[in-house]
Chain A
Amino acid sequence: MIQAPLAALSPNSDFVTACYIVAFSLFIFGIRQGTHPSTARRGNLIAAAGMLIAIAITLSTDVIGNGVLILIGILIGTAVGVVASLRVQMTDMPQMVALYNGVGGGAAALISWSEFRHVSAGGSSIPLDIFVPILFSTVIGSVSFWGSNIAFGKLQAIIPSRPVQFPGQHIFNGLLLAAILAGCIVLGIDHDSPSQGLYIGVLIGAAVLGNLFVLPIGGADMPVVISLLNAFTGLAAAAAGFALDNVVLIVAGTLVGSSGTILTLEMSRAMNRSIANLLFSGFGAVSAAAGEREERPVHSIGAEDAAIKLGYADSVVFVPGYGMAVAQAQHAVKELADELQKRGIEVNFAIHPVAGRMPGHMNVLLAEADVPYEQLKEMDEINPEMPRTDVAVVIGANDVTNPAAKDDPNSPIAGMPIIEVNQAREVIVIKRSLSPGFAGIDNDLFYKDNTSMLFSDAKGAASDIAAQVEEL
Chain B
Amino acid sequence: MLEVDIEHRLADFALDIHFHAGRGLTALFGRSGAGKTSVVNAIAGLLRPRRGRIVMDGSVLLDTERGVWVPTHLRRVGYVFQEGRLFPHLTVRQNLLFGRWFAPARERRVIKLDDVVDLLGIAALLDRRPGRLSGGEKQRVAIGRALLGSPRLLLMDEPLASLDARRKDEILPYLERLRDDARVPTVYVSHSVAEVTRLATTIVLMSAGRVHAVGPVHEVMGRAELYPLTGRFEAGAILGVRITAHDPRWSLTQLTGDFGRLTVPRLDAPVGTALRVRIRARDVILAVTRPTGISALNVLAAEVERLVPIEEGTLEVQLRLGRERLLARVTRLSGEALGLATGREVFALIKTVAIDRRSLSRQGETADLDDEMETFDG
Asked if A and B are interacting partners, one says no
